[in-house]
Amino acid sequence: MTSSAYSSSAYPHPGPDRFVPSVPATTPGVRFEVGKRAIDVTASFVLLCAGLPLLAAIAAGVKLTSPGPVFFRQKRLGRGGGVFWCYKFRSMVPDAEDQLRSRAEIREQFDENFKIRNDPRITPLGALLRRTSLDELPQLWNVLRGDMSMIGPRPIVEPELPKYGICAERLLTVKPGLGGIWQVSGRSETTYAERVAMDMQYIDSRSLALDLKLLALTVLTVVRGRGAY
């Protein structure tokens, strides 16, 4: 696994189907759930209110620099396997989904890692938004609504779930997060198997203290722009 502050010998296996936790998973109690939701509501509400001028500026920039909608929305898997609309500022050309289906060279990359390096569909402003993670700010609304949490596993699309192998069922026991271990441990520079291990690592070790630490580290990672594309 990629070297990071959260590397662990409990996750030595390179693929999701070979991942076996070294200790049984534990389920946090009601106090954890209430505290986590309180952090989510407070953080998302404060950031949305304080960031309104920035959100408006980004929305205007997207609209003025590229034809098409301001927001990109996509169905993602939530807790319990339910589906919700996940929002981002649009960072690609309007026909990005059509290009993904018709261009074999980018489809191959996407099918392997659900990430595309040097994606030709990204607009100039979109590249900046992705590098700074500003494209993900609308997900604060998903957090406030309760679809997501500030910290958790990555929000994935349904076709990704088989890549989690024997970990798929456990992934759906928690809400996906705006930030998490993956986001502070290399992000898009990691392999898919490493991302799965990091998500499972969070589920096994989640606590309010870990959430607060990851929130602080996420801010530092976003400022540095490390691993984003």
Are 127 and 92 spatial neighbours (Cβ–Cβ below 8 Å)?
Answer: no
pLDDT tens-digit series, residues 177-229: 999 998 888 666 778 888 899 999 999 999 999 999 999 998 887 777 655 54
Are 147 and 84 spatial neighbours (Cβ–Cβ below 8 Å)?
Answer: yes
Mean pLDDT within 30-55: 96
Dist CA 63 CA 196 (whole Å): 35
pLDDT of residue 34: 96
Mean pLDDT within 25-31: 78
Map residue 150 onto helix, strand or coil.
strand
Dist CA 103 CA 125 (whole Å): 23
Mean pLDDT within 96-115: 76
Element (H, E) at 89: strand 83-89
Are 218 and 179 spatial neighbours (Cβ–Cβ below 8 Å)?
Answer: yes
pLDDT of residue 19: 37
Per-residue pLDDT band for 11 (boundaries 50, 70, 90) equals very low
Alpha helices in 66-191 (DSSP H): 96-102, 104-113, 124-131, 139-145, 168-171
Are 196 and 20 spatial neighbours (Cβ–Cβ below 8 Å)?
Answer: no
DSSP state at residue 153: S
> How many CB atoms are closer than 10 A to CB 146?
15
Range of weakest confidence among 72-76, 88-92, 221-225:
221-225
pLDDT tens-digit series, residues 142-166: 999 999 999 999 999 999 999 899 9
